Amino acid sequence: MSVSDSWQRLPRPLRIVMSRLPMVFPQMLGVIFVTFMLVRLLPGDPTLLMLGNMATPESIANLREQLGLNGSLWEQFVHYMGNVMHGDLGVSLFTSNPVAKDLIERAPATLELIFYSMLLTVILAVVLAVIAVVKPGGIVDYFSRIYGLAAGAIPDFWIGLLLIFFLFSLAGIAPAPFGRIDPLLEAPPAITGFYTFDSLLAGDFSALASSFGRLALPVLTLTLVNAGALMQMTKTTFAGIWRSDFIRHQRASGLPERVIIRNALRNSLPPIITLVGFLVGFLLGAAVLVETIFSWGGLGQYAVQSVINSDYPALQGFVLLASAFILIVYLIVDVLYELADPRIRV
């Protein structure tokens, strides 16, 4: 039996993953190299900024040594790569924690935010798009046109600040715009790292209510900004399919509208999946601003701080994790894409 035969016997999703996976490693290596060099190209010396009044030639040399800033750029890079291979991303200058620990602690905060935003974005976008196409000329159709135009033009941080101003400061119906949970409540014991899931698992309903409340504004902000693009795309694709021959045939055959919509949607999936994949990656970037506004304490806020502080290890660690995350999301997109449409070979 030849190799290709046993290869063909493997289940299709596994084959897709296995042929796609080896690509990830050279991609990651390239990302590490480029970010290391780019970060070092930033002007500025963190030691002087940190020492302030206490700078003496001795203390500067001492701190540079601690921060691993001595030696040539190549020596620093080789040293860094060696450490990364062992899972050591260095120690953050401004949190005094190992970067890996910081990232692991913060990742669930950001993922929870992205997860709910994505969920709401997809629901909102697809529902609006389908109704707009199925009932042209209706209120939803008009609304979706205006919203589609506006959504691309409004910056997320501005929407965030407006929501805080109107819903928290004026109306007083939204919870305080900082943190993932009320500071007087204990965070639920970490199982998944998502406060909403963990508090449900722990049966702690006040923590659950509080963490959902805190999620409301940032999720709304991200959804409002991102659902527009997805809705437009879905509308275009879905409208094309809605007018196609096989849908007309189904209708002529007397299938109920509900089934027709489902079939049309199933056929519109590939481009939607692609865009959702891009959006997930994009949300990680959008989270940088939104997290800072809502003091979310996730990866985005961490990235902003590390740039401001010239915190090299933290910044590199963030970029590394972000690129790994995006590569994984694209991998999933590729796999889903092939599954959704068997004709496609990625």
Partner 1 sequence: MAGNFFTKESVSRRTLLSATVALATVGTFAFTPRAFAQSAKETLIVGGPRTPESLDQEYPPTEAVHEMRRNVYERLVAFDMKKGDDGVLYEDFSKIVGALAEKYEVGPDSKSITFHIRPGVVSGAGNTLTADDVMWSFERGWALKANFHWYMTQILKIDDFSKAFEKVDDMTVKVSIPKSSPLIAKLWTNSDLGILDAKVMKEKITDDDPWGQRFLATNSASFGPYFVTKYAPGQETVYQANEKYYRGAPRLKRIIFKEIPTAANRVAALQGGAIDVAEYLSPRELSQVEKIPGVSVHKVFGNYIHRVEMQNETKPFNDIRVRQALNYLVPRDAISKAVYFGTARPTKSPISEIYPAFTDEYYQYSLDVDKAKALLAEAGLPEGFETELGYRTGDQLEEEIAVILQTAFAKAGVNVKLSKLPASTLVERYTKGEIPMYFFRDMAIVPDAAYVANLWLNSGSLINYSRFKSDEVDALINSALTGTDETKRVADMKRVQQITMENAPWVFLFNPGYQLATRSNVKGYSWYTPNGNAWFDFYKE
Residue ranges in 180-199 that form contacts with partner 1 under rule CB under 8 A: 182-186, 192, 196-197
Which range touches partner 1 (CB under 8 A), out of 18-26, 27-35, 167-175, 271-279? Answer: 167-175
Residue 89 has which token pair?
């991303």
Give backbone dihedrals phi and psi of 154, rounded to 5 degrees, phi first.
Answer: -100, 125
Interhelix angle 312-340/299-308, rounded to 10 degrees, is: 140
Contacts of 73 (CB under 8 A, 6+ apart): 37, 40
Q: Is 11 in the site for partner 1 (CB under 8 A)?
A: no
Q: Is 329 in the site for partner 1 (CB under 8 A)?
A: yes
Which range touches partner 1 (CB under 8 A), out of 20-28, 206-214, 227-235, 266-274? Answer: 206-214
**Cα 53 to chain center, whole Å?**
40
Q: Is 70 in the site for partner 1 (CB under 8 A)?
A: no
Q: Is 205 in the site for partner 1 (CB under 8 A)?
A: yes
Site string for partner 1, 26-65 (x = CB under 8 A): ----------------xxxxx-xxxxxxxxxxxx--xx--
**What minimum distance in Å lies between the beta carbon of 142 and partner 1?**
29
Contacts of 303 (CB under 8 A, 6+ apart): 288, 314, 315, 318, 322
d(CA 57, CA 139): 70
d(CA 323, CA 281): 9
- In eight-state DSSP terms, residue 171 is S
Q: Is 2 in the site for partner 1 (CB under 8 A)?
A: no
- Which residue number, 238 or 312, has a Cβ lying nearer to partner 1? 312
Rg (CA), the chain: 24
Map tokens 């806020």 to a residue.
Answer: 301
Q: Is 308 in the site for partner 1 (CB under 8 A)?
A: yes
Q: Is 332 in the site for partner 1 (CB under 8 A)?
A: yes
Which range touches partner 1 (CB under 8 A), out of 71-79, 222-230, 235-243, 303-311? Answer: 303-311
Which range touches partner 1 (CB under 8 A), out of 141-149, 218-226, 243-251, 323-331? Answer: 323-331
Q: Is 283 in the site for partner 1 (CB under 8 A)?
A: no
Q: Is 88 in the site for partner 1 (CB under 8 A)?
A: no
- Which residue number, 260 or 276, has a Cβ lying nearer to partner 1? 276
**What minimum distance in Å lies between the beta carbon of 254 and partner 1?**
31
# binding residues, partner 1 (CB under 8 A): 74
Helices marked H in the chain — which ranges? 3-9, 12-20, 24-41, 46-51, 57-67, 73-85, 99-134, 139-151, 156-163, 195-202, 205-242, 245-252, 257-293, 299-308, 312-340
Q: Which of 164, 231, 260, 320 binds partner 1 (CB under 8 A)?
A: 164
d(CA 295, CA 278): 25
d(CA 128, CA 126): 5
- Which residue number, 65 or 257, has a Cβ lying nearer to partner 1? 65
Q: Is 294 in the site for partner 1 (CB under 8 A)?
A: yes
